[in-house]
Structure 1
Amino acid sequence: MVYYQIIYIKNSIMKKSEQINQGFTEKDFASMLKEYNYSLNPGDVVAGTIFNKESCGFLVNVGAEIAGFLPIEEVSLKNTKNLTSIYYLSLHNQTREFFIMAYKRDSKQLILSIRRLEYIRAWKRIKQIESEDVVLRLKITRSNKGGAIALVEGLESFIPNSHLAIEMKMLQIKNSSVSCKLLLANEKTNQLILSNKKAVLSIATNQLNVGDIVEGTVVKMEKYGVFVLINKTNILALLHISELGYKNIPNIRKIFNINDSLKVKVIHIDMEQGRISVSQKNLN
């Protein structure tokens, strides 16, 4: 990594400076960069120090003759429009890593980013979360007609309505905390899709098995069947019309009412999609 190459060069200079009892200077550093035939390029990670705040960003000393500039929008993954003074105070005179986004030849400036580094590292952690298939406890930041939005490692993720447990739909979603598992993580398209149902079902696996006869409550009715909230787990299950045990069903609403209690048998558990199918056939 470029950062560690710079540290190695810098340490070499300091050793030479100590030998001749002279202090380390930026000119020394610049001359050593030339001696090592070293260049800074977009995509590199460099060490630098923020030393001045401007109206639209920060000036950064990266130990070379080329100046570094950190735009406000590249300070963090978070919205920092109103936090520039706070970030400056926390970063001022602190040496840290920066991602080189571009080099502006006209102004001889390196365009730097902390946000890009955070993005890269966030995706590395997300890939780890995906490989371990862990359950996350996340705060809902906002909701829309399609579902809810939450942050995973600082990145926005989406929980579709179809993957929210029924009890979550009955709550005011904003500022609620939910258990979730990753459903889709695509760094190329920057897509993060989560499932609350998948997480809830994963947590309840020790309480529910295929073949179990359980009690539930009818919470929703459709032409193709009814949705049953299984009492002991609060997981929503589909009782399809083909699993009712009746030959002719002209209108399912003539058989069931909302809040009806009934016994059903678990016939399928889809851990990947967080879905359960139940039946009223062969309950004995």
Structure 2
Amino acid sequence: MSNEFNEIPELNVGDTVTGTIVKVEEKQVLVDIGYKTEGIVPISELSSLHVELPSDVVSEGDTITLQVKKVTDDEVVLSKKAVDAEKAWADLQEKFDNKEVFETVVKEVVKGGLVVDVGVRGFIPASLVETYYVEDFSDYNGKTLEVIVEELDSSQNRVILSHRAVVEREAEANKKNLLESLEEGQVIEGTVQRLTSFGAFVDIGGIDGLVHISQLAHHHVEKASDVVSEGDKIKVEILSVDRDSERISLSHKATLPGPWTNIGEKVAQGDVLEGTVKRLVSFGAFVELFPGVEGLVHISQIANRHIGTPQEVLEVDQKVNVKVLDVNEEEERISLSIKELEQQQQQEEVKNYEKDDDHSGFQLGDVIGDQLDKYK
């Protein structure tokens, strides 16, 4: 003959049981585990984290697995936290061994970092949250973060997690993919990161390339800051990629219209312009008319007299007026003359002199004429 008490399981501390929640109270939860009395889960045994109300964690009708903490004739005390922790430590160990990336929700912002629930209490130190400095972590409360297990010690209940490592890992993967995809001649947009005495470093999507100062503009650049500023979005052309050393050479100059482009719209034959003597050579002088645009004054066009060398008349950085003799945009050549301007000036001076001379000549003639009349 069967005795109904034989069907009641024997419970021992440490046993794992499954039950259904029948009542959620303010400080505890009652669970039907098929025992002669309902099991009690105190609020402190619901989670490894601080819990305000049991209803925040469980609801009536939920089926949950619990560990027996205490058994008396009158009550059975159970723990959800203990089961979760045991499972969590095994799970975390596996994640730690495999360097697995997984998601977790920030439960609390505390001094020094973030507290998360990973079955047990996990901690993300402030220095392991982001790759950059964060002033205020209050926005992180309730946020889901991807993390990896950085440190694990079950005997010390120590679980250190890192979101920063995930970000760095992704950045490294992106950098590798980017390096593989880059090709010489490609034109892409980048952001100026920092300026140096020799050029500008530009972020082209997770990796920095160098625009040497000579590649910033078509004209001579003294300081990179004369052309670009940190934070500027600029177009750059890839000159070379060294995948082993992760060095990328870029050119901003190559993406800009050349100084000779449409030069015919700026300069025409017969124009008189002011320029700066840039170089003196045996056959003449190169005069800069616009940034990056130089014209040649042939030695025969420098002075209105024979000279042996351009240095006899001109010096570097001297400002001079020149007349345009010819413009060839295709060959990027402009012929200039200083002599023609001198000749024009002389002709005008002679004309002015002749005018004055003619005027005084009539007066002189009149006077002499009067005198001559006396002798007729």
TM-score, normalised to structure 2, is 0.41
Letter in 2 for 1:92: N
Aligned to 2:228: 173
Counterparts of 1:223 and 1:99, CA distance in 2:
66
Q: Does structure 1 residue 59 correspond to structure 2 residue 115?
A: yes
Instruction: Go from structure 1 to structure 2 and tell me whether the alpha carbon gap of 1:142 and 1:111 turns closer, same or farther (over 3 Å shift).
Output: closer
User: 2:128–2:161: 8 Å Cα contact kept in structure 1?
Assistant: no
Counterparts of 1:249 and 1:23, CA distance in 2:
101
Decide which moves more: 168-177 or 136-145. 168-177
Q: Does structure 1 residue 103 correspond to structure 2 residue 144?
A: no
Instruction: Go from structure 1 to structure 2 and tell me whether the alpha carbon gap of 1:238 and 1:112 turns closer, same or farther (over 3 Å shift).
Output: farther
1:123 to 154, 175, 182: 175
Q: Does structure 1 residue 22 correspond to structure 2 residue 57?
A: no
Instruction: Give how far 1:130 is off.
Output: 1.8
Alignment root-mean-square deviation, CA: 5.4
Aligned to 1:41: 97
Aligned residues: 228
Counterparts of 1:142 and 1:125, CA distance in 2:
23
Counterparts of 2:116 and 2:63, CA distance in 1:
25
Counterparts of 1:226 and 1:74, CA distance in 2:
60
Counterparts of 1:73 and 1:188, CA distance in 2:
30
User: 1:226–1:238: 8 Å Cα contact kept in structure 2?
Assistant: yes
1:144 to 196, 206, 219: 196
* Structure 1 unaligned residues grouped into runs of 5+: 1-19, 268-277
Q: Does structure 1 residue 199 correspond to structure 2 residue 285?
A: no
Letter in 2 for 1:75: V
Instruction: Go from structure 1 to structure 2 and tell me whether the alpha carbon gap of 1:133 and 1:122 turns closer, same or farther (over 3 Å shift).
Output: farther
User: 1:76–1:118: 8 Å Cα contact kept in structure 2?
Assistant: no
Counterparts of 1:96 and 1:158, CA distance in 2:
34
**Alpha-carbon displacement from aligned partner over 1:186-236 (angstroms, at most 9, x marks no partner):** 6765545432123337xx8xx98xxxx99899889468997989x8xx9x5
Aligned to 1:14: none
User: 1:160–1:195: 8 Å Cα contact kept in structure 2?
Assistant: yes
Counterparts of 1:258 and 1:177, CA distance in 2:
36
User: 2:276–2:319: 8 Å Cα contact kept in structure 1?
Assistant: yes
Aligned pairs (5 A) from 1:230-269: 263=327
Letter in 2 for 1:109: I
Instruction: Go from structure 1 to structure 2 and tell me whether the alpha carbon gap of 1:190 and 1:221 turns closer, same or farther (over 3 Å shift).
Output: same
Q: Which one has the largest radius of gyration?
A: 2
User: 2:211–2:250: 8 Å Cα contact kept in structure 1?
Assistant: yes
Identity, % of aligned pairs? 12
Letter in 2 for 1:145: S
Counterparts of 1:132 and 1:29, CA distance in 2:
54
Instruction: Go from structure 1 to structure 2 and tell me whether the alpha carbon gap of 1:181 and 1:99 turns closer, same or farther (over 3 Å shift).
Output: farther
Decide which moves more: 169-178 or 48-57. 169-178
Instruction: Please give the secondary structure, in 2, of the residue aligned with 1:115.
Output: helix
Counterparts of 2:90 and 2:185, CA distance in 1:
48
**Alpha-carbon displacement from aligned partner over 1:48-74 (angstroms, at most 9, x marks no partner):** 22223344433344x355x65434344
Instruction: Please give the secondary structure, in 2, of the residue aligned with 1:40.
Output: helix
2:143 to 78, 85, 94: 94
Q: Does structure 1 residue 75 correspond to structure 2 residue 123?
A: no
User: 1:58–1:69: 8 Å Cα contact kept in structure 2?
Assistant: yes
User: 2:280–2:316: 8 Å Cα contact kept in structure 1?
Assistant: no
Counterparts of 1:28 and 1:146, CA distance in 2:
58
Instruction: Give how far 1:116 is off.
Output: 0.9
TM-score, normalised to structure 1, is 0.51
Counterparts of 1:48 and 1:38, CA distance in 2:
16
Larger relative contact order, structure 1 or 2 (CA cutoff 8 Å, min sep 6): 1
Instruction: Go from structure 1 to structure 2 and tell me whether the alpha carbon gap of 1:155 and 1:22 turns closer, same or farther (over 3 Å shift).
Output: farther
Counterparts of 2:244 and 2:176, CA distance in 1:
13
Q: Does structure 1 residue 135 correspond to structure 2 residue 203?
A: no
Instruction: Give how far 1:179 is off.
Output: 1.4
Instruction: Please give the secondary structure, in 1, of the residue aligned with 2:97.
Output: coil
User: 1:151–1:157: 8 Å Cα contact kept in structure 2?
Assistant: yes
Instruction: Give how far 1:165 is off.
Output: 1.2
Aligned to 1:16: none
Instruction: Go from structure 1 to structure 2 and tell me whether the alpha carbon gap of 1:94 and 1:200 turns closer, same or farther (over 3 Å shift).
Output: same
Instruction: Give how far 1:134 is off.
Output: 4.7
Counterparts of 1:109 and 1:140, CA distance in 2:
36
Decide which moves more: 137-146 or 165-174. 165-174
Letter in 1 for 2:107: F
Instruction: Give how far 1:180 is off.
Output: 1.4
